[in-house]
Amino acid sequence: MRSPPASCSEPRKDPMDIEQVVARAAAASRPFAQTAPRERAAALVAAADALDANAGELIDIAMRETGLGEPRLVGELRRTSNQLRLFAEVIVDGAYLDARIDDADPDYVIGPRPDVRRVLQPVGPVLNFAASNFPFAFSVAGGDSAAALAAGCPVIVKAHSGHPELSARTAGIVAGALAGAGLPDGVFQLISGQAHGVEALRDDRIRAAAFTGSTHIGTMLARIAAERPRPIPFYGELGSVNPVYVTAGAAAREQDLAAGFLGSVTGSAGQLCTKPGFLFVPAGTELDLEAAAAVAEHRLLTPGIGDAFARRRDEVSETDGVTVLSQGTVRVDDAGHANVTPVIARTDLATLLAERDRLLEESFGPLAIVVEYPDAAALPAIHRELFPGNLTSTVHAAAGDDIDALVEALAETSGRVLFGGWPTGVSVTSAMQHGGPFPATTTDATSVGTAAITRFLRGVAYQGAPQELLPPPLRDDNPWGVPQRRSPAGLSQKWGALTGAH
């Protein structure tokens, strides 16, 4: 999910004292960490309800500021509010706490064992850098905020400059709902401006940061996080080109393929982190992509994205060995917005390998390249070489195709492997993984789905604690009813029975 670098010299919309913002978050940290899951869950649901109640106004602002269409934004807001409700369920369930109890055992094989109990606790104030391309789902009230709030961490969101009014309005609604639900003051704050974001990132009281944006900016911020006197984890979602492989057996379904591919490339004008940038088909595959020319013009999110898209169109189309199937258009309107139609190019594997420096770069916007390959057996090695880190990889195969080696290569290099279907439209569920080897993400953590909450938690063990001093998830009476994993008294030697080793 990329957008061009925001300028570091962008004007400050309103002066804000970052020191005070961080101080408020730090002051909220302790009381917020002590809230019971049901209190936090109620607050998340209140925020979801408030967003839904203000949907009309929010969507109007979003359409004006982003150029995205109403149906897309209606769906995205619904996803965003239901994401908050899903995290409410996750907290109340309590499995995310990973509560572990080792009872005392004087005869433990590794030496007498004390009573040790471990639970995940919030890390403290979290700084989230919002994205441009999902003004709801990856912005102020998006997945990173939902996960951090669910974990019990105060959140400071650095607004994306692409939708400032929407950011401010969303933050007002969410902060109001959280306060109305009784959460401490300072659990949810908004700042804006790249310089302010960097200032907050350098503040010792910030304990983790999340980011969705370009590889360039993400890498810069990740280094700032790593070079602080007290380094913190930086969860950045950066670049991904999401290759799709079609076997000879599946290539026969050419009409479905063409329609699905074009839909995935052009939806939201291709401004999606999981847009399929490359479609690999057997040499000679007929794929009718003429419908690309009929796709309606779509405004891009920011002028910077428009400039980058025009540059990528020229770079790709001017490469020797590349045929342009749909050359697309870029029209800058009076307001300075870039309005574009899709660019679809075609080449062969030899050209892609020879021109990889030009062709492999992610193109944010409706641009994709069809690549003809001569030999399916070579795909696993080629994939590993060209695509070492992606959010997704996809294979379209027919029943009986031997794709084991290809799937293994895709799983090694991707966060999510799809069998059929298209990578856009990331489902928000407990099993979703939206994060893969660098540069897809700076760590292997996911930023979508309920596993994202773990990023903002750390383990704390309590040794020999009286029951009344244990956190509720670790108590024998388990007042929150969370899953508790109790260890057996010693080694079970289960491996022996299973392996025959003993």
Q: How many CA atoms lie within 13 A of 145 on its CB side?
A: 35
From 5, 54, 63, 75, residue interacting with its own copies (rule: CB under 8 A): 75
Q: Does 118 bind its own copies (CB under 8 A)?
A: yes
Q: Which residues contact 9 (CB under 8 A, 6 or more apart)?
A: none
Q: How many CA atoms lie within 13 A of 349 on its CB side?
A: 18
| Number of Cβ within a 10 Å radius of residue 453 | 25
Residues 29 to 68: which contact its own copies by CB under 8 A? 30, 33-34, 38-39, 41-42, 44-46
Q: Does 396 bind its own copies (CB under 8 A)?
A: no
Task: Decide if 153 is catalytic.
Answer: no
Q: Does 180 bind its own copies (CB under 8 A)?
A: no
Q: Provide the minimum distance between the beta carbon of 265 and its own copies in the complex, in angstroms, as a whole number.
A: 18
Instruction: Identify which range of 65-73, 274-282, 346-354, 457-465 contacts its own copies by CB under 8 A.
Output: 457-465
Residues 352 to 381: which contact its own copies by CB under 8 A? none
Task: Decide if 318 is catalytic.
Answer: no
Residue placing its CB nearer to its own copies in the complex, 105 or 307: 105
Q: Does 465 bind its own copies (CB under 8 A)?
A: yes
Q: How far is CA 375 from the centre of its chain?
A: 34
Q: Provide the minimum distance between the beta carbon of 305 and its own copies in the complex, in angstroms, as a whole number.
A: 25
Residues 221 to 250: which contact its own copies by CB under 8 A? 222-223, 226-227, 230-233
Residue placing its CB nearer to its own copies in the complex, 126 or 190: 126
**List 65, 237, 362, 372, catalytic entry:** 237
Q: Does 412 bind its own copies (CB under 8 A)?
A: yes
Residue placing its CB nearer to its own copies in the complex, 20 or 82: 82
State how far the Cα of 393 lies from the Cα of 278, in Å rounded to an integer. 10
Return the structure tokens found at 454.
């773990």
Q: Does 157 bind its own copies (CB under 8 A)?
A: no
Q: Provide the minimum distance between the beta carbon of 27 and its own copies in the complex, in angstroms, as a whole number.
A: 13
Report the candidate in 423, 377, 419, 424 with the shortest Cα–Cα distance to residue 397.
419
Q: Does 487 bind its own copies (CB under 8 A)?
A: yes
* Paired sense of beta strands 188-191 and 338-340, if any: unpaired
From 7, 255, 323, 463, residue interacting with its own copies (rule: CB under 8 A): 463
Q: Does 337 bind its own copies (CB under 8 A)?
A: no
What's the first-to-final CA gap in the chain, in angstroms?
Answer: 51
Q: Does 182 bind its own copies (CB under 8 A)?
A: no
The footprint of its own copies on this chain (CB under 8 A) covers a number of residues equal to 109
Q: Does 79 bind its own copies (CB under 8 A)?
A: yes
Q: Provide the minimum distance between the beta carbon of 423 and its own copies in the complex, in angstroms, as a whole number.
A: 8
* Binding pattern for the stretch 200-219 against its own copies, x by CB under 8 A and - elsewhere: -------x------------
- Phi, psi angles (nearest 5°) of residue 373: -115, 145
Sheet arrangement for strand 330-332: 298-299, 338-340, 330-332
Return the structure tokens found at 109.
């094989």
Q: Provide the minimum distance between the beta carbon of 224 and its own copies in the complex, in angstroms, as a whole number.
A: 10
CA distances from 156 to 23, 105, 159, 165, 195 (A): 11, 44, 9, 17, 14
Q: Does 430 bind its own copies (CB under 8 A)?
A: yes
State how far the Cα of 425 lies from the Cα of 269, in Å rounded to an integer. 13
State how far the Cα of 19 lies from the Cα of 36, in Å rounded to an integer. 29
Q: Does 411 bind its own copies (CB under 8 A)?
A: yes
Q: Does 418 bind its own copies (CB under 8 A)?
A: yes
- Phi, psi angles (nearest 5°) of residue 340: -130, 160
Q: Does 266 bind its own copies (CB under 8 A)?
A: no
Residues 121 to 140: which contact its own copies by CB under 8 A? 121, 123-124
Q: Are 276 and 394 in contact (CB under 8 A)?
A: yes
* Paired sense of beta strands 338-340 and 234-237, if any: unpaired
From 8, 53, 95, 259, residue interacting with its own copies (rule: CB under 8 A): 95
Q: Provide the minimum distance between the beta carbon of 143 and its own copies in the complex, in angstroms, as a whole number.
A: 11
Q: How far is CA 396 from the centre of its chain?
A: 24
The CA-based angle 232-237-240, given to 5 degrees, is 145
From 106, 111, 336, 479, residue interacting with its own copies (rule: CB under 8 A): 111
Residue placing its CB nearer to its own copies in the complex, 331 or 485: 485
* Paired sense of beta strands 99-102 and 116-122, if any: antiparallel
Q: How far is CA 329 from the centre of its chain?
A: 30
- Which amino acids are annotated catalytic? 237, 273
